[in-house]
A and B are shown apart, each in its own frame.
Chain A
Amino acid sequence: MRVEDWTEVGRMDELGRMDSPAHRLDARAKAVVTLAFIGFVASFPRHAISALTPFLLYPVVLIALGHIPVRPILKKILLAAPFVLVIGIFNPVMDRQPFATVGPFIVTGGWVSFVSIMFRFVLTVGAALALVACTGMYRLGAGMGQLGVPRVFVMQLLFLYRYLFVVADEGLKMMRGVELRSGGTRALRLGVYGSLIGHLLLRSMDRAERVYRAMVVRGFDGEIRILRQSSFRWTDWAFVCGCLSYFIVARIWNLANELGVLLTGITP
């Protein structure tokens, strides 16, 4: 992935400014539903896979309702995937108990839980990204504040988000400098990477300080205020109630299995 791809963090803001049924929903409604969604997905046993599949519907519907292009969402999921991969990859090594047989192959519990972890990751990160893309980060922060989330937490989140831009921007400038002077080679000495990371940190801190200074001199007092505060309407209530009901049903019954039985008549 090229360095420029990192700067696509701004793309989420652009998506957040679109107008669609999903964008018109109140930020609080979407935040509550997405949090509940993440809670439900995390609550399944570690070997669950098929029972999780009905939950794919929520991010897919949100993305479709929001007219969000899938590509940037997938790119960001892929970007975060290595971190989860590192966590999950030890499962097949640690858990070698046979779990199922597929033809001549024995599938161990470790592999099943690994797939389950990766699937949950795609679901939860996909839903969170869809939420940001359908709301915009600042509106989401304001909505969280209205929900009673402590101000300090909301601020940390918004600053973290803002600093993603700062780090990406500084990183981009540095990598351009490296590319221009590296004589075409992409493999640099380990020491150079160490120096680059150190400089990136220092430059980002410096830049973050200047951004904060600019906020303070324009009256920033620890609270982000936005121009358009939305109001909670009946469509938001319908969205919350409908989604939560669906999550409860999908958590109690394995809808994928039930559908399979209904269509094929074969009981697992």
Chain B
Amino acid sequence: MSHHIVEVRDLFFNYPDGTQALKGVSFRIEHGGAVALVGANGAGKSTLLLHLNGYLPAMRGVVRIGEVPLMRETVSMARRAVGMVFQDPDDQLFMPTVAEDVAFGPLNAGLKPDQVELMVATALERVGMAHVRARPPYRLSAGEKRAVAIATVLAMTPDILVMDEPSSNLDSRARRRLIELLRSFEHTRIIATHDLELVVEVCSRVIMLDRGTVVADGPAKEILSNEALMTAHGLECPHILRHLHPH
């Protein structure tokens, strides 16, 4: 059994105000895949991501992480397996220093201090942020915050990386660094984003959501270059594909 597999079957979720956020979402992501979740605002991307580590419980349907169905008893296992990077790094970084923030997850997992120190150093090194370990997170630039937010998750050695809008608020250089970083990971990656150029570079597969349902699921370039499909669901083909397929 691989812990890297994610399977969602017929998932439904309603918010307390009655909004139907997910309506029968189904897909399966294999080990090491890089999959983008795309869709207009309110399509249900973030809601879906919050189901993948059990933060939101499925109202109907099943989420499986590594073939284990997600339920109350398996939530802690899922949270170790699925590392989640939130849209706003300011929400994710809450400890006084970068090192303490990166150590937060491993310490909660019950690891010994010397193991935690090693994981912190390795994770910060991996994202190129070892030099900011003693600094308070709120003093970092947007790009540095994003990299540290990724390190906080890498330190927990997850099998699956889930990211919500990882390139938002990044300048070109920080975004390029992020793309290279995401390409270098061997984890199963699930990325919810509006940055379709990033999707073309990082993801091999796209799952398109619209109003809580999966409207397309297939190879990234094929879906993202389908102008009729994209327009019908409130999206635009990325420029990079327009140049490749002008018609």
Contact = CB atoms under 8 A, between A and B. Distances in A.
Contacts, number: 71
Contact of B108 (A17, A138, A221, A228): A221
Contacts of A216: 55, 79
Nearest to B88: A210
Interface string A5-43: 000001001101100000000000000000000000000
Please classify how large the interface on chain A is, using the bins under 10, 10 to 19, 20 to 34, 35 or more.
20 to 34
B55 A162 contact: no
Contacts of A138: 95-96, 100
Contact of A218 (B100, B105, B113, B136): B105
Interface in A194-220: 207, 210-211, 213-220
Contacts of B152: 218
A210 B120 CA distance: 23
A236 interface: no
B156 A214 contact: no
A136 B136 CA distance: 12
A229 B107 CA distance: 12
A221 B134 CA distance: 25
A225 interface: yes
B107 A227 contact: yes
Task: Determine chain B's interface SS by DSSP, over half rule.
Answer: helix
Given A138-B100, A225-B107, A227-B113, A211 B79 contact: no
Nearest to B82: A217
Contacts of A215: 94, 104
A210 B91 contact: yes
B17 to A, nearest CB: 14
Interface residues of B, number: 34
Contacts of A187: none
Contact of A10 (B80, B88, B120, B138): B138
Which of B84, B100, B138: most chain A Cβ within 10 A? B100
A223 to B, nearest CB: 8
Contacts of B95: 138
B86 interface: yes
24 contacts: A10-B138, A14-B136, A17-B97, A207-B91, A210-B88, A210-B91, A213-B55, A214-B92, A215-B104, A216-B79, A218-B104, A218-B105, A218-B152, A218-B153, A218-B156, A219-B79, A219-B109, A219-B156, A220-B104, A220-B108, A221-B108, A226-B100, A227-B117, A228-B113
Interface of B: 50, 53, 55, 76, 79-80, 84, 86, 88, 90-92, 94-97, 99-100, 103-105, 107-109, 113, 116-117, 120, 134, 136, 138, 152-153, 156
